[in-house]
Chain A
Amino acid sequence: MREDDAGPDKAVTRRHFCQATGVAACALATGGGAIVSADFLRPRVLFEPATSFSVGPPDAIGVGSVLDFPEHRAFVIRLADGFRALSSVCTHLGCVTRYRPDGEFIACPCHGSRFALDGEVTSGPAPRALRWLQMALSEKGEIVVDTAGEVAQGTVFKF
């Protein structure tokens, strides 16, 4: 049976069917391979530093002090109204900011962004305020800061 006898666009010949099935199988295999590879590339376990850390008992921190924890990228600040924890990661490009006691502001060395003690941007190219972090009191009576837990701006903790 020649292909010309197949009729105008209606009948599916055996050849067409086999070709279509073959191509579809190859496409499936390729697509499946790509998906499996992409999944392989995504790491399932991360050996990264713990996101929570302990600061110590609340009484050890005086009112008006600003503690800098660069290895955890967080500031712990105690003011008259209570405790607050700010992320020290600059919101511009992720550099680690530092507290400047002489001017009582937080400064980023990369592009000169400055933040007030409530995280708001006072100057520089940073687009957003610093993140406020979750704080809690552990069973041992120590303050624990969770750098992965973000709270609303202005959330003050009282311990």
Chain B
Amino acid sequence: MDILRAITENRIWRSVVRHGVRATNRNRVMVVMENVFLHLHSTKVRGRSMELSSTYYLGGLALTLNAILTATGLMLMLYYHPSVPQAYRDMKELQFVVSNGVFLRNMHRWAAHAMVLSVFLHLLRVFYHKAYRPPREFNWVVGVFLLLLTLLLSYTGYLLPWDQLAFWGVSVGTNMVRAMPFLGPVVRFHLLGGNIVGENALLRFYVLHCVLLPLALALGIAVHLWRVRKDGGVCGSSGLRRSGAGQPRE
């Protein structure tokens, strides 16, 4: 215990951590309030909203999966060149040469599928609990936008291995885009950077997948979580009042 006291009661520690370490109410509140990463949380939460049946933690699951995807994706980027045919050779290298390459790629792939699934389940949970009712309508719209971004992220990432599965899956998809009236061919041309799924398409999908879409998703998540706070916290099954309009504002 003396070691702990020595660590936590000297000048250096005090310059970084501005609250005490004993489990007082004040310290617990300060942990959340004074931390830039944690202060999006409210300092206190309702006991009922933390029950499993309230939210099934699906939103948190989606966020966790996003963090895992970002971390594994960053690591995969170090061994991947978005050019043809080098991209495919890099996939083979990740599979057979890079230490834990298989594991990393698998984590990324299964986390991607799990994220699409958990985002969809989160949408269903919010719907059936009627947690989109005023004042939470706009947050629902932001959520749908995030769902679309998740699907787009998954789709742009799908092309990157440059195998038959990737190439033809994206070919069919972009041909469907061409079916859009008026804008279809133009959108397809800009998306692919040309007329065919080739090197330009791979590079554009790479930039979309690794930079633009994650940025958009991060901004969307920020707005989404901010709105949760502003609308009065997470709304679980307690929002299902039999009588009707809206839930109480906090």
A→B interface (CB under 8 Å): 41-43, 46-48, 93-95, 110
Count of chain B residues near A, Cβ 8 A = 14
Do B193 and A48 touch across chains, with their CB atoms under 8 A apart? no
Closest to A47 in B: B199
Instruction: Indicate with 1 or 0, residue by residue over B176-187, a CB within 8 angstroms of chain A CB atoms.
Output: 100000000000
A42: contacting residue among B175, B190, B198, B199, CB under 8 A:
B190
Task: Find out whether the CB atom of B194 lies under 8 angstroms from the CB atom of A48.
Answer: yes
**Nearest-CB distance from B174 to chain A (Å)?**
8
Q: Are the C-beta atoms of B190 and A41 separated by less than 8 Å? A: yes
Residue pair B168, A95 in contact (C-beta under 8 Å): yes
- Per the bound structure, the CA–CA distance linking A41 and B193 in Å amounts to 8
Known: A41-B190, A42-B189, A46-B200. A94 touches B195 (CB 8 A): no
Query: A41-B190, A42-B189, A43-B193 in contact; A48/B198 too (CB < 8 A)?
Result: yes
Contacts of B175 in A (CB 8 A): 93-94
> Does chain A have a CB within 8 A of B171?
yes
By Cβ-Cβ distance, the 7 closest A-B pairs, closest first, are A94-B175, A93-B175, A46-B194, A43-B193, A93-B172, A41-B190, A48-B196
List chain B positions with a Cβ less than 8 A from chain A: 168, 171-172, 175-176, 189-190, 193-196, 198-200
Complex-state Cα separation, A46 to B197, whole angstroms = 12
A41-B190, A42-B189, A42-B190 are known contacts. Are A48 and B172 too (CB-CB below 8 A)?
A: no
Nearest-CB residue, chain B, relative to A127: B179
CB < 8 Å: which of B168, B171, B190, B195 contacts A48? Answer: B195
A93 to B188, CA, bound (A): 13
State the CA gap A14–B198 with chains docked (Å). Answer: 56
Contact of A43 with B200 in the complex, beta carbons under 8 Å: yes
Q: Please report the C-alpha to C-alpha distance between residue A48 and residue B193 in the assembled complex, in whole angstroms.
A: 11
A contact residues around B196 at 8 Å (CB): 48
A48: B residues at CB distance < 8 A:
194-196, 198
Q: Which residues of A contact B172 (CB under 8 A)?
A: 93-95, 110
Q: Which residue of A lies closest to B198 (CB)?
A: A48
Interfacial chain B residues near A95, Cβ < 8 Å: 168, 171-172
**A-chain residues with CB within 8 Å of residue B194 when the two chains form the complex:** 43, 46, 48
- Report the separation of the CA atoms of residues A47 and B195 in the bound assembly, to the nearest whole angstrom: 10
Residues in A whose Cβ lies below 8 Å from that of B189: 42
- Closest Cβ of chain B to A85, distance in Å, is 19
| Minimal Cβ-Cβ distance residue in A for B173 | A93
Q: From the candidates B171, B190, B198, B199, name the one contacting A94 in the complex (CB within 8 A).
A: B171
Asked if A46 and B176 make an inter-chain contact with CB atoms under 8 angstroms apart, the answer reads: no
How far apart are the CA atoms of A41 and B207 in the complex, in Å? 13
Q: Is the CB of A46 within 8 A of B190?
A: no
Distance A47 CA – B199 CA, assembled complex (angstroms): 8
